[in-house]
Amino acid sequence: MRKVAVVGVAQTKFSGSQEKTEVELFAEAATEAIQASSLKPKDIQAAFVGNVLGDFSEGQGTVQAFAVENIGCFNIPTNRYEGACASASMAVRDAFMWVASGFYDIVLAGGVERAATMGTALATRTFAMFSDSRYEFPAGITFPGVFAMLAHLYAAKYNIPIKKLKEQMAIVSVQSYKYGMHNPRAHLRKEVKVEDVLKSFMVATPLQLHDCCPFSDGAAAVILAPEDVAKKLTNKPVYIIGAGQASSGPLVSQGDYLPRIKARELSSKRAYDMAGVGPEDIDLCELHDCFSIASILAAEGMGFFEFGKAGEAWEKGEAAIGGKVAINPSGGLKSKGHPIGATGAGQVYEIVKQLRGEVEPGRLVEGAKIGMTDTLGGDATTVVNMILRKGW
Amino acid sequence: MEYKLTFKAYNEALKQNKLLGLKCQDCGAITAPPKIACSKCTSNNLEITQLKGSGTIKTFTTVNVTSEGREGEVPYTIVMVGLDEGPWLMGNIEIDPQKATMDIIGKRVKMLQSKVFPGDKYSAGDGARPLFGFEA
């Protein structure tokens, strides 16, 4: 397997409902990434595009084919990836494999979504499609409902009074917003205090509005190339040194293992094994905080903190910049936003920018060498983890 | 290769308040909701069995923001119940939202009847789910 580097990266500003089409958003991100790589559209050999709900949000299927033609990458093979919120990570991981194998040299990977454009009612309905439509949706499951149940289960399992857990969850959200304030590409940029979280509207007990990430519109794109090609295009190649993925069945089928997420434990182990590093080596992690509780579950699942203890770690600042591992210095899904088909590529964008020292000082993780991404789709049915290392 | 217990059959039975699962003829495990392979040993040697419908509440949530078209149902409480036979199922419990607190985790429940979601334009038909009630 060859060494694969990320060359140019780009991300649109993630936002609420806006009027650019998915093809337009992706075209902007992709074109910027191609130019940032000192390449031209004709240099791209294949494209790997995450997009979950374009059919519903715009009546647009096969967005990947329309997008590559739009940007001038005529007639290249292009795939669409659907793994709910993990879609763009699936796309990047797959792109990595094709380049690592030697089949392609220069590829484009990323994703796009217009989740906000759908409005809350339709977005809630379509996000509920990531649960089991036959055996879970009839009971009225919603995506916040999934994590709400995991939050109650977590409190019960680790004997944490729910009031205490909610305070720890609020601290997670507050930290995300704090870093998002320094990120001009973030969707929700506001100062939020713990009291604001605990006073906000109750979406699904125990999750309140500020425990939940927003629906967002946006796109992100990255260019991958093997080491020898990458070194000609950039003096700051970032190598993907580990990539893992795993799946699970619906929430009910995961049963007794919950609130631990089996798919993430397997996926992150696969990434760590490939990379030859462990959780202690990770300087920063962009992880899947679709809900505040999800951050706690993710940090534990990846081995940063002991099971049942991540909330305390956030309280002690161990998950902050300057702590044990800097979690979501972009502002995370919570503040940076969550255009689900693009999110995983947005995480890669952030890690690459951080390792290159190309982010705003208020959220820079100084001296970072190794970063990790983590995306979870649906009922924890799809998890992808990638590990990236500074290559100069 | 025949799919032993399809959603169609499961759904029709549940509408008659019969909760069905599959018993593995090789390892004895119960698989529910139904699949083609045993959830424990992956054998396809499965026979339909009726489940008792009783178990304990593993977790819950009371939902205030729901999918397009189901706004009339809120607030409602979803439970995941660990059935006595082993598998977990998702259903609802009729409860005053104020009383849906952490205290209900671990309580024993029994399926009282089923409740049918009539379906919407995305769902390819209706779907029943268990409505649980606390055991005395």
**Whether the Cβ atoms of residue A106 and residue A46 lie closer than 8 Å to each other:** no
For residues A237 and A352, the answer to whether their CB atoms sit within 8 Å is no
Residues B128 and B77 in one domain: yes
Is A144 in Cβ contact with B105 (below 8 Å)?
A: no
B1 in a structural domain: no
Domain encompassing residue B15: 7-50
ipTM confidence score: 0.98
How many structural domains is chain B composed of?
Answer: 2
The answer as to whether B18 is a domain residue is yes
Q: Is A13 exposed, middle or buried (0-12, 13-18, 19+ CB in 10 A)?
A: middle
User: Do both B71 and B111 map to the same domain?
Assistant: yes
Shared domain check, B104 and B44:
no
Q: Where are the beta strands (DSSP E) in chain A?
A: 4-11, 46-50, 78-81, 107-114, 202-204, 207-208, 217-226, 238-247, 284-286, 326-327, 370-377, 382-390
Q: What is the pLDDT along chain A (392 residues), one digit of tens a residue?
A: 999 999 999 999 999 999 999 999 999 999 999 999 999 999 999 999 999 999 999 999 999 999 999 999 999 999 999 999 999 999 999 999 999 999 999 999 999 999 999 999 999 999 999 999 999 999 999 999 999 999 999 999 999 999 999 999 999 999 999 999 999 999 999 999 999 999 999 999 999 999 999 999 999 999 999 999 999 999 999 999 999 999 999 999 999 999 999 999 999 999 999 999 999 999 999 999 999 999 999 999 999 999 999 999 999 999 999 999 999 999 999 999 999 999 999 999 999 999 999 999 999 999 999 999 999 999 899 999 999 999 99
pTM of this structure: 0.98
What distance in Å separates residue A192's CA from the closest CA in chain B?
22
Same domain, B14 and B71: no
Cα(A279)–Cα(B29) distance, integer angstroms: 36
- Does the residue B2 lie in any domain? no
Q: Give CA–CA dist B77/B91, Å, rounded.
A: 9
- Could you state, in order of their start, the residue ranges of all structural domains in chain A? 4-119+214-390
Architecture of the A4-119+214-390 domain: 3-Layer(aba) Sandwich (3.40)
Same domain, B60 and B126: yes
Same domain? B64 vs B128: yes
Q: Is B68 in Cβ contact with A134 (below 8 Å)?
A: no
Residue B45 sits in the same domain as residue B58: no
Q: Is residue B13 part of a domain?
A: yes
CA distance A342 to A85: 8
The catalytically annotated residue of A182, A210, A288, A338 is A338
- Is residue B136 predicted with pLDDT exceeding 80? no
Question: Which of A186, A218, A232, A37 minimizes the C-alpha distance to A114?
Answer: A218
* DSSP 8-class letter at A12: P
Query: Do B28 and B63 belong together in one domain?
Result: no
pLDDT digit string, tens, across residues B59-100: 999 999 999 999 999 999 999 999 999 999 999 999 999 999
The distance of A243 to chain B (nearest Cα, Å) reads 28
Are B15 and B37 in the same domain? Answer: yes
For residues B93 and B45, membership in a common domain is answered with no
Check if A85 is active-site.
yes
Considering the domain architecture, whether residues B41 and B73 belong to the same structural domain is answered as no
